[in-house]
């Protein structure tokens, strides 16, 4: 567990402290309602455990904490594009250093805001002016909101995802409802497919659901719970499980890692950069996901 490798730096409030891990800054939350952690590298939540529940968010036990790489697990912020439509894949936000803007802590509810603005580095990858603010609201539930502003003189287009890795007891005992009945299958060369049944996690899955309900439910039977995922500002939802072969091929994922995780992502999908959502100068847009748990025990 990453927590055993944290070096304490400072107390920021009764429930919030700052630590370092391999040179990365980790903000840790320990409140009466939840344990959580956020890496300023990538602006990435890496832990969320509501009081009285198992971890809701999955983090690879082989995750690499380095400024050069996205952390495997948690909630990677894929922005200002999703997927391999440009380089680096899934955009630069998840490998950028975010700044701690401010925090609030009233014990029941903690909010943390991080900011990323355009820089010489980002403009070599994406020649636009922007500011992006991530707001994490953590209590019995978790809400992550990515707000983006076009601070430049010309319009730009974006796509992206809050690429959430969920912790489940056992993939083959888990099914997903609410994703809808139509999807683009990345494993069949982006073939458009229709389905009716709930999705059971018993094979490699890499699907962009094109008409998801506002709330998607993960029936985590092995943990006797349902995880509710309510997305806003998205046009699709991505469901991903790498399964055996891909798990084995990823150095930052154990061979059996696929058995206890599934990604359900709030996604603004675009098949290429030019098809992204348009943002005019001075305008802003947002993408959010809210996660809650119903115990069936």
Site for ligand TA6, rule CB under 6 A: 70, 83, 89-90, 163, 186, 206, 238, 240, 263, 265
Residue with Cβ nearer ligand TA6 (16 or 264):
264
CA angle, 184 then 245 then 58, to 5°: 75
Q: What residues have CB less than 8 Å from 129, skipping those under 6 apart?
A: 118, 150, 151, 152, 153
Residue whose C-alpha is closest to residue 45's, from 139, 159, 144, 132: 144
Residues 160/70, Cβ–Cβ less than 8 Å: no
Q: Is 232 a catalytic residue?
A: no
Q: How far is the CB of 246 from ligand TA6 (least distance, A)?
A: 8
Dist. CA 51–CA 174, nearest whole Å? 22
Q: How far is the CB of 66 from ligand TA6 (least distance, A)?
A: 14
Residue with Cβ nearer ligand TA6 (38 or 63):
63
Residue with Cβ nearer ligand TA6 (93 or 110):
93
Residues 244/258, Cβ–Cβ less than 8 Å: yes
Pairing of strands 284-295, 110-117: unpaired
Residue with Cβ nearer ligand TA6 (139 or 160):
160
Paired residues of 144 in beta bridges: 136, 289
Q: How far is the CB of 287 from ligand TA6 (least distance, A)?
A: 14
Residue with Cβ nearer ligand TA6 (89 or 295):
89
CA-to-CA dists, residue 153 to 156, 274, 278, angstroms: 10, 18, 14
Q: Is 163 a catalytic residue?
A: yes
Dist. CA 120–CA 73, nearest whole Å? 28
Q: Which residue's C-beta sits nearest to ligand TA6? A: 240
Among the options 163, 234, 259, 290, which is catalytic?
Answer: 163
Residues 90/76, Cβ–Cβ less than 8 Å: yes
Residue with Cβ nearer ligand TA6 (50 or 83):
83
Q: How far is the CB of 111 from ligand TA6 (least distance, A)?
A: 27
Q: How far is the CB of 295 from ligand TA6 (least distance, A)?
A: 28
Q: End-to-end distance of the chain based on CA atoms, in angstroms?
A: 26
Q: How far is the CB of 236 from ligand TA6 (least distance, A)?
A: 11
Pairing of strands 44-50, 34-39: antiparallel
Residue whose C-alpha is closest to residue 253's, from 73, 77, 74: 73
Among the options 41, 90, 234, 265, which is catalytic?
Answer: 265
Catalytic sites, residue numbers: 163, 265
């Amino acid at each position: 567990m990453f927590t055993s490798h944290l070096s304490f730096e400072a107390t920021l409030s009764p429930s919030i402290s700052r630590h370092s891990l391999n040179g990365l800054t980790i903000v840790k939350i320990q409140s009466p309602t939840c344990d959580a952690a956020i890496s300023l590298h990538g602006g990435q939540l890496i832990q969320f455990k509501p009081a009285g529940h198992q971890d809701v968010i999955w983090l690879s036990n082989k995750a690499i904490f380095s400024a050069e790489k996205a952390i495997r697990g948690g909630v990677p912020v894929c922005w200002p594009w999703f997927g391999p439509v440009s380089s680096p894949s899934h955009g630069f936000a998840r490998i950028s250093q975010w700044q701690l803007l401010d925090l609030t802590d009233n014990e029941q509810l903690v909010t943390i805001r991080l900011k990323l603005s355009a820089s010489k580095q980002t403009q070599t990858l994406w020649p636009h002016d922007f500011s992006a603010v991530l707001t994490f609201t953590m209590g019995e539930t978790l809400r992550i909101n990515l707000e983006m502003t076009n601070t430049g003189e010309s319009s730009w287009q974006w796509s992206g995802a809050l690429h959430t890795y969920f912790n489940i007891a056992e993939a083959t005992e888990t099914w997903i409802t609410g994703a809808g009945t139509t999807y683009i299958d990345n494993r069949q060369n982006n073939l458009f497919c229709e389905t009716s049944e709930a999705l059971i996690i018993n094979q490699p899955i890499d699907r962009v659901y094109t008409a998801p309900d506002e709330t998607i439910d993960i029936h985590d039977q092995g943990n006797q719970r349902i995880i509710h995922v309510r997305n806003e500002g998205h046009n699709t939802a991505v469901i991903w499980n790498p399964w055996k072969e891909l798990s084995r091929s990823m150095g930052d994922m154990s061979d059996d890692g696929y058995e206890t995780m599934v990604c359900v992502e709030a996604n603004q999908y675009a098949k290429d950069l030019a098809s992204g959502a348009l943002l005019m100068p001075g305008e802003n847009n947002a993408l959010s996901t809210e996660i809650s748990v119903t115990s069936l025990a």
